[in-house]
Structure 1
Amino acid sequence: MLRIDKVQMIEGITVYGDDENPNLFYVLPNTPRFRKNGDDYAFKFVKYRTPIKRENGKLGGAFAFFDVEFTIPEEQLDAVKEVLRQKLNSSESGGGGDVEIGQLTFTDGKASINLESISKEIVETVWNPGSPALYGNYITPFTVEFTPDGAALFQQALQGEGGAVQVAYDLYTWAKLPPIKVKGKFNAEKFYSFYQQIDLNWSSWSKDAYREKIIEKVRDSDSYEISFEWGATTDPEIQKDIREWAHKTMEDAIARKMINAMEPVSEKGRKKPWGKKHVTRDFVNQKISSFTLEFNEKLPFKWNPAPRGTLPNIEDFMKYYSEVDTDDPFFRQLHVPISVNADFADLPIHSVEVHVDYNHGNVHTIEQPLLKSPDDVAWFKTYTDGENLNYNYWYQVNYRGMSQFFKSEEFETDDRNLVINVDDTGILVIDARIGDLDFSEISQAIVTLRYDGGAAEGFEECFSLDRMSKEHKIRKVILEPRHNPYMYKVKYVMANGRKFESDWQKGDSKTLYINSPFSQKKEVAVRTIGELGTDVRNIFLNLVYEDPDNKYVQKESLILSREKPYVTWAFPVVDPSLGDVTYSGTVQYADGTVEEIDETCAESDTIVVGPAIRNILNVEVHPDLIDFEEVKLVKVSLLYEDSKNGIMEKKDVILRQDCKKPACWTVKLKDRNLTKYQWQATFYMKDGTFRLGDPMNSEEPSVVPKLPGKRVRRKGSEFRDECEFEEESEYRED
């Protein structure tokens, strides 16, 4: 495809390079010229007069009939090829081979002439079909009517050196720009933490003490930015359209990704539970939402080279000049140029036979010209019956290598320029080409194209596009004008072997670009809680992205370790706002045990995983109430059980006379609400005996064992061990 930044001027001709093939070039004539039929110009200047004044008071004027074309003389084109060949074979380029001259395919166009803008005192009217032929030499016929002053002026201006007629073409073809990159980032975070500690000390001997501590934190932030790399694209209109698209896409995505406000802990949730002396509440809520928008503009765009210039004057002007009187019947004529706007070389068209019939009053004229190329222009000329300029026509398209032909219905028109367009030739013309497919992600696109005609028999064709085959042409004879759009769907074969199939889509353009269905990329950040490598060896994760609306699935397996505590998973998506990410896996501990991570749906684009431990139980064993004058040592047996989570932790703590600090016991919890444990003390006496204390259940952070003693009686109650009573009092004081 033509690359607009690969341009050079050779022998006065503008030459463009191809975006892929270094040996392929496109040449554009710089100036138009009057078309020639052999050695003669397709030009006629007729000056007339009339003996009767018109309503505007004028007595005459002139008509100019001519064709304009853009073409390059063969000798000039050969000179251009020779220069290109020398450049290809030069040592600097390091290339070589034959020079190829490509044929540009124009999808739309129009032509205008400077005479249209000249004062009505000089030019009465200018007529042209508006659109030139889009094939061959891009011929456009013009008819100009001059006032009497204009007739005299241009009769002189069109003779001699120079030129007086200027023509401007707007011809649109597909071309490519250098890459344009757009990148946008959005990040939003909401954080809320609540810490509360309540301590109530009951005292039998003094006033009770109550202490409450609350720490509450809130953080809310969000931001986004967009950057553009325009490359060689300097057109402000193109930049404006892409900038508006990027901001609108970001704003729509932000609206979908915005995090709701976090609710603080309620007044009810802050109250002290009934019967509890010590309460600790620690609540943290953090939500993160982020995404990245990336856009790499590789799509082709419609480009207008806009050739224009001044037509060189015609040699021997008087050869094409005549003067007539309007009383001559010659002026009561209808002149209609007839052409075919289709590429005969590319299409299976042998010829087009046009039947034109003018039948009014005493005038009956029939012409049947045969056209065999887009450069053929036939003229239908007839006398007219008064002001009636309507005529009838039909045409027949003959195909190469086929006995079948297409004959149109009969039409009535007063069109002053009869053009048979390519869509009217009974051929379905579609050029399927690779658009913005990224072959690092998509290895192949399998296209199924279907056309259901009216009277014609429908057909379906399947073809494949990939890195080696980037274009497929459909030239199907349907024996009727194309009235309906075609339907197509695409099956994308991903580089990892997975497949994604689009729904049926409508197409109406002759050029069908197969683009990537994945407009953006989605990034999922996977992070771990805490440090790996001590208790936890590895974390294995299986991630699945599923977009049920588009029947699209992506999968990924990850391993997190001390050396790799975080991973970012990036993959193409149809729409980042659609689809969900789920994950599951296992936590492998250093001792060989394994903990399952149940399947979970990710709430944001950041996934945080780690061991299921929620809290830690810390217990201190104090020797302060042990009389080591009688006791040699004390063994305190500690037991914690969580049968639901399969936890049983045991420990024996030995207390001797030289123990100055409390012994510590730490248990990792999986259920933060289950903090009850059991302890029992065994006292080994200096006289060789031992005493065994009763098993005790506790949730307190401290254990203070005391030697069991004699039984005592409290007033108004049964007998109890003195050690039990005293220890319970000490326990409540803690």
Structure 2
Amino acid sequence: MITIPSVLNHKNVAVFPDDEDCNLFYAIKTSPEIRIENGQPIFSGLFWTDQADGSTTSVAGLAGGWINFDAHLGVSEDILEEISGKLKSAQVQESRRKALIKKEKERLGLIAKARGETSIPEPDIPSVKEIRYGAVNFIEGTVTLLEEQGGDLVPWSSAGGSASLIGDNNAAFALRLSPTGAAIWYKALKDGIKAISIRYDLKFQLRLPSLEIRAWAGSTQTSEIERKVERVWRNTDQGCSDADVERINVKEVTSKLVEEGLMNIEIRKGSSEISDEHVSQLRNMAMKLIEDKVQEIIKSRVHGMTEEERKNSMIELMKEEVRSFVELRFTQEDVVEWQIAPQGTIMNFLEGVPESKKQHITKLVDLSEHEVETITITTSVDAPWDEAPFVNAVVVNHTYPCADQKHSALFKKDSPKDVWHFRRPKKDDGIVKYTTEVYFKGISEPVILPSESTNSDININIGKLGLIDVNFIPHPILNSLTGDNEVKAIQVDISYKEDTHPDHFIDTVVLKTDKPEGEKLTKILGKIIDAPLTYKATYFSKDGSSIEIPEKKYYLTENNTVKVLVPSPYQDMLELSVELPQVPDESVRKIIVEFTYEDLANHFSSTDKVELSAEDDWEPAMAKLVLLDKTQNKFQYRYRIISIDAIAKSDWIEGTGEEALILPILKVNINASHLKLGTSFTNALLTLQYGDAANKTTREIFLDQESAAKLITWYVPRTNTNTAGYAYQLTLIKEDGTTVESTGTNMGSILILKAPDLTTPEPA
């Protein structure tokens, strides 16, 4: 019978010896393989494509696959010959025979010793002969395909079941592949990359040395035997006369055993499945056996009383010493069930297979080649389910006239798509007709849209059907009105259709001029809007007066929020273009121009404001003033120059008409490089002043050696272009803190500052 351990591992084959025959071995495959028959692997792969119409989900054009193959644990004759050569070269048979002879000699020696024989027979062990291979007796087993549990590559497989337990343990497998799994396997097979993982779980019987008990005791044991004797006279009739006969009577024998020495118990469990409790019981049993054996030897060696001893009445006490040695050996060899799990990845099983034969192994079916063609019409609906006008459901009724087919589909928020399949007719024009019914929340009657036809998929966008969503915005020019005619509110009265029509409604919104975003009007009609909105605006001024403009109409367009600009009641306007005489340097950030218009005769006024900036490249700006009487076209304006470190403002300037306004800005270039800063003086303070006390522009400039070396600009906001003088005051500061002051005036656009002469004139 097969026993362990293995004596060789070669090409995924484990070799085990027999427990009695040194020429008998057992070869077990440790990794499964694809079964090969007539040079052809037992493998079949069927893969199919998608329909190439975009209607199915696929990977790399493959929609799925099916694979069948056989796996086994058989060892070929070629491998067995290689194993035999390795066993012979390693002299495994000789080593096994020596081990068997030693074991058998020990067994025969114990038997002879037990029988009291002095000679030991020769062991009957077969000599080294040709190597043979035995069949393993499998008693139980399963085979499993190692795959991802719950994965998306192999949705189904037949793997997992009982092994055959005979022959090569052949097992058949079948797998259904997902689109991803099919794409991976098909490409791998084309490129010669294979990986199939399989595990066998098998049981077979083998014999193993499982339990060995050795116990021995070496000791000196003294047996003290005390005999109490007495003489007995008995009168015996001897025929002629009586005679007294003397007898020795052993009245009492007392034995005492004194033992000294060593007793030892060895128990080797090996691979035996025996508990520690049972081992302890075996130890106690062995000790009792030794004890009984020693006593038996002592008793067998105690002499009986001879005739002379019985006659010698002087003997009253007898002692003996007996030296004894005993050894016990107990060996048990069990037949147990042994488990193995050959597993591994089966790779490269198509190596060496010709390309012509590979075509029989793997086949590809193209599903885009229609045998019976099907028409697929996809309809999708996009509607405002969660916003106004709150579509509740959409029903689309389809008709395919040439196939005499009809189909109705209901669409809701969670099901906005429908697919309709039917067989293509012989004479197909590809035209599908459809009618759409739209249902709104809270409205029982649907809106039925006109019928349409198409030769492709249907995509219906409901949009803002039946929704009036208008934003009324006040005219921005109204913000420029001031005084009594300032507009405080605008009332817009809206109506839809005639008052006798069932869809008629009226509504009102109130606009504020300080709220430029306006006010919204929202109405859900649940019907197609086929008439314009009519609206009329009434303007309420600060003085309590009102102005009403004529009624106007607005034709709505669906799907968008529309903006209606309510016109101004004042149509006359003065448009003024504002320009600069020259582009300022980088010290100026922006220039703000304010306009005011006042018609005293009509108690009417308006204002406006524009801004020119470096961000807009100092482009001209357009100011608009609302007029009540266009013949009254006089206005006033003023401007502010905002620089990095100063703000300068002009006085009010009179203007007339719509001529372009060029702001009369004076640019003064100041040269302070001659002030001897850094030599005679440390720094200086320059104060500039333009205008009179009523409208004065002042600027202070602090100078040091670095800033004085650069050209300084001063932008003066004048009211006209006439040359006007400006005054300046210069304060020079020495290192000791004393100052030197000078003043002056200038008329031009260039101001050159010079340091005073501090040298003292020589006396005459």
TM norm structure 2 = 0.28
TM norm structure 1 = 0.29
Rg larger for:
2
